[in-house]
Amino acid sequence: MSEAKHHQANYKGWLYKWTNYLKGYQKRWFVLQNGLLSYYRNQAEMAHTCRGTINLANASIQTEDSTTIVISNGGAQTFHLKAASEVDRQKWIMALELAKTEAKKMADAEVYDT
């Protein structure tokens, strides 16, 4: 079911994002790139409308159950996400942790350059 493609810390694929109690989880297209996790309603929307982004450099990435991931940046942003399977969730966790590590390295390098 996953259309995810893994290349270094870049990853793309479908996840279900918690919206609210009325709508519950909604299927969204997620793109992990340059330490940022962004989402769209679908792949076609990527050309013009990003629905939201979270910077992973200082984010916490946790699992709740076999398919759920919770990402929080310590502020107002928290994403509750569900993968289609435990295998998909594990692939996302690996990609997210790698992207977080790389984003922290980039942020640290920028601090030392100034």
Q: Which of 83, 62, 64, 95 is nearest to 15 (CA)?
A: 83
1 or 24, which is more confident: 24
**62 located within any domain:** yes
**109 located within any domain:** yes
Q: Which of 17, 99, 16 is nearest to 58 (CA)?
A: 99
CA distance 106 to 104: 5
Q: How many domains does the chain have?
A: 1
State the pLDDT at residue 90: 98
CATH number at residue 49: 2.30.29.30
State the pLDDT at residue 108: 78
**43 located within any domain:** yes
pLDDT digits (tens, 9 = 90+) for 12-65: 999 999 998 889 999 999 999 999 999 999 999 998 999 999 999 999 999 999
**4 located within any domain:** no
Q: Which domain holds residue 103?
A: 10-113
**17 located within any domain:** yes
Q: Whole-model pTM?
A: 0.85
**75 located within any domain:** yes
pLDDT digits (tens, 9 = 90+) for 63-98: 999 999 999 988 788 999 999 999 999 999 999 999
